[in-house]
Amino acid sequence: MVIDDFLPISKEDMKKRNWEKLDFVVVTGDAYVDHPSFGAAIISRVLENIGFKVGIIAQPNWRNVNDIKRLGRPRLGFLVTSGNLDSMVNHYTVSKRFREKDSFSPGGKTGLRPDRATIVYCNLIRQAYKKMPIIIGGIEASLRRFAHYDYWSDKVRKSILIDSTADLLVYGMGEGQITEIANNLNDGLAIEYIRHIPGTCFIIEDLEYLYDYRVIPSFEEVEGDKKSFARAFKIQYEEQDPVKGKALIQKHRDKFLVQNPPAIPLTRADLDRVYSLPYQRTYHPSYEKLGGVPAIQEVKHSIISERGCFGNCSFCSLTFHQGRIIRSRSHESIIEEAKKIIEDKDFKGYIHDVGGPTANFRHAACEKQLKKGACKDKQCLFPNPCSNLKIDHKDYLELLKKLRKLDKVKKVFVRSGLRYDYIMADRDEEFLQELCMHHISGQLKVAPEHISSEVLELMGKPKRAVYDKFVNRFYSINKEIGKKQFIVPYLMSSHPGSTLKSAIELSEYLRETGYYPEQVQDFYPTPGTLSTCMYYTELNPKNMKPLYVPKSKLEKAMQRALLQYRNPKNYDLVKRALILSNREDLIGFEVKCLIRPKNKSSTKAKHKNKPTTKNNPRRNKKKTGKRKVTGKR
């Protein structure tokens, strides 16, 4: 029986449902938000939908074992996740400073979950209930399933399955896996015999009953040798395919980590069913007096329309989590969710987003991908769109048109990532025109990340010329339709392969375009990405060639400062970077210069070299209408 209410968080809630015992307890590092943008909510609702009694322990006190017992011993097992983010990313900035706010906690308060939350929660459960089955999942477990480089401790750590002492690890989105695991446990199959499910990992002591697998370098090898680490990552990358991927084995001392091949993505019908479940679409009422949960504001009036991404950006973990095969929801399912949003008391007429990892991907890259799997040695969009790539925005555009015709809807925005190279590859320009006319709230955020060809190649991003072409067409269309809208580019400093020369090249580009980013993102090495492997090993795992990686605090600070060279606080860093790079020609009073010399009091000299309005983009803002002085990463 499904009750239209929040799932139990206390014994009192269980009594209201006449439940004496739960089947599963979900432990999460996030506050309890019953919304389909939160993984813990989806998994718990999926289990409830097939008849299991599920309770939630959100952000338990990890300093003693008592809080983990608040719902009693479940009949079948504990399901553990750190939350929507890796707990270390949630806690620390790229400079390893503690964040001032946790958007996934009541009132944005920090300190309500531990570092390495998945491991800590599992160890608490083991203290409380010795032989209780524990299944871990979510982004933290998914991306740490193999021996991995941990940026915060600057060392290679074992698989999280070893450190957590959990019985099973679910990687990827998880609905299919958890359904099969739950049914197996309910049928009486012991957790140690549930080893056949795609999209899961487990630990064994010998390989006697396994077949058709690839062995990757062991924990001991990758811990001690960076080349072994790079080779291990390359094999993981190659086998991350649900159609033709093989099982992978990685030895950890006297035990073996086994990763079954990835799970086949849900069908459209199954995906629709997941999003039709009775979510309360907000945070638990107990948080109201604490100020609510800030993260809900970004997603409450937004719609997830698809999963997966074939974009393959090197610094993105989607390949290892959601995979490259796109699965999209039906128009009917999305419109039904939109109607629920419209009924919300806080709805003001604006649907904030309709998208996913990449909003304008609504179907698989090609038919071959569905039948034979993704190519191991080719990418769909990089360095150029594949000849087999299906380029079509018609379905997405039709969906947006339907949504904006709904009663009480004033505007439907697209704020998810858009692949501008995919847009430019489409010969039909209707989508870009409609996007500019109806679906932008003054600013369109896109992610060129850099403009240096060497850096873009390592990032897996399109060439600068593609971005320039997109920018020109965007502003041309806006001029035609009489709108003043701006592009806000996401930019990244200190990515592997980026030198001071690369950073200067990007700063000169910013000077030429007159764009000043208020914020830029330093590259953040997180588990499960190709770029993190490059950062740690200083090798490109695809070809094992050495590459330059900026790691010192000083150089990273200089690269970041160069992208914000107009900020007076960055003057000394910018000057130092220019001198080190033998680019003193960029220090002076000419238009091409990034900074001016200090202690030059000659007004005559300043006047003589003062840039004119004609060629000074800072003074020419009103004329061009193309410069936007703000932008957030």
* Average pLDDT, integer, range 267-296: 97
What's the pLDDT score for residue 626?
38
Pair (523, 630) in one structural domain:
yes
Tell me if 1 is assigned to some domain: no
* Structural domains of the chain, count: 3
Pair (486, 420) in one structural domain:
no
CATH number of the domain encompassing residue 67: 3.40.50.280
Q: Is the pLDDT of residue 519 over 90?
A: no
Lowest mean pLDDT among 82-86, 146-150, 326-330, 617-621: 617-621
Q: Considering the chain, what percentage of its residues have pLDDT values greater than 90?
A: 89
What's the pLDDT score for residue 101?
97
The structure tokens listed for 503 are 């950073």
Tell me if 220 is assigned to some domain: no
Is the distance from CB of 160 to CB of 139 less than 8 angstroms?
no
Q: Is the pLDDT of residue 619 over 80?
A: no
Pair (592, 489) in one structural domain:
yes
- Tens of pLDDT, residues 145-180: 999 999 999 999 999 999 999 999 999 999 999 999
What's the pLDDT score for residue 3?
61
Tell me which of 170, 186, 202 is where a domain ends.
Answer: 202
User: d(Cα 41, Cα 378) in Å, to the nearest integer?
Assistant: 36
Q: Is the pLDDT of residue 264 over 90?
A: yes
Pairwise pLDDT comparison (230 vs 377), residue with the higher score: 230
User: d(Cα 106, Cα 30) in Å, to the nearest integer?
Assistant: 9
* Average pLDDT, integer, range 20-38: 98
CATH number of the domain encompassing residue 359: 3.30.750.210
User: d(Cα 77, Cα 145) in Å, to the nearest integer?
Assistant: 20
Q: Is the pLDDT of residue 233 over 60?
A: yes
Kindly indicate the confidence band of residue 622, based on its pLDDT and cuts at 50, 70 and 90.
very low
Q: What is the value of pTM for the model shown?
A: 0.92
Sign of CA dihedral 501, 503, 509, 511: negative
Tell me if 2 is assigned to some domain: no
Pair (190, 311) in one structural domain:
no
Tell me if 44 is assigned to some domain: yes
Q: DSSP secondary-structure letter at 209?
A: T
Pair (407, 504) in one structural domain:
no
Tell me which of 410, 441, 472 is where a domain ends.
Answer: 441
Mean pLDDT of the chain: 93
- Tens of pLDDT, residues 426-472: 999 999 999 999 999 899 999 999 999 999 999 999 999 999 999 99
Pair (487, 435) in one structural domain:
no
User: d(Cα 408, Cα 348) in Å, to the nearest integer?
Assistant: 8
Q: Is the pLDDT of residue 243 over 80?
A: yes
What's the pLDDT score for residue 371?
87
Pair (335, 423) in one structural domain:
yes
Element of type H or E holding 607: helix 603-609
Pair (94, 160) in one structural domain:
yes
Is the distance from CB of 133 to CB of 77 less than 8 angstroms?
yes
Tell me if 225 is assigned to some domain: no
- Tens of pLDDT, residues 61-80: 999 999 999 999 999 999 99
Phi, psi for residue 282 in degrees, rounded to 5: -160, 180
> Which residues span the domain enclosing 313?
301-441
Pair (433, 532) in one structural domain:
no
Tell me which of 202, 223, 240 is where a domain ends.
Answer: 202
Q: Is the pLDDT of residue 630 over 80?
A: no
Tell me if 217 is assigned to some domain: no
What's the pLDDT score for residue 628?
38
Tell me if 463 is assigned to some domain: no
* Average pLDDT, integer, range 46-60: 98
What's the pLDDT score for residue 189?
97
Q: Tell me the sheet residues that pair with 521.
A: 492
Pair (524, 412) in one structural domain:
no
* Average pLDDT, integer, range 585-599: 93
Tell me if 460 is assigned to some domain: no
Q: Is the pLDDT of residue 242 over 60?
A: yes
In angstroms, the first-to-last Cα distance of the chain is 44
Kindly indicate the confidence band of residue 2, based on its pLDDT and cuts at 50, 70 and 90.
low
Pair (429, 353) in one structural domain:
yes
* Average pLDDT, integer, range 1-8: 77
How does DSSP assign 487-539, residue by residue? EEEEEEES-TT--HHHHHHHHHHHHHHT---S--EE----TT-HHHHHHHHSE
Pair (61, 198) in one structural domain:
yes
Q: Is the pLDDT of residue 420 over 50?
A: yes
Q: Is the pLDDT of residue 610 over 60?
A: no
- Tens of pLDDT, residues 344-386: 999 999 999 999 999 999 999 998 888 888 888 889 999 999 9
Q: Is the pLDDT of residue 608 over 90?
A: no
Strand-strand pairing, 247-252 and 255-259: antiparallel
Is the distance from CB of 258 to CB of 249 less than 8 angstroms?
yes
- Tens of pLDDT, residues 115-124: 999 999 999 9
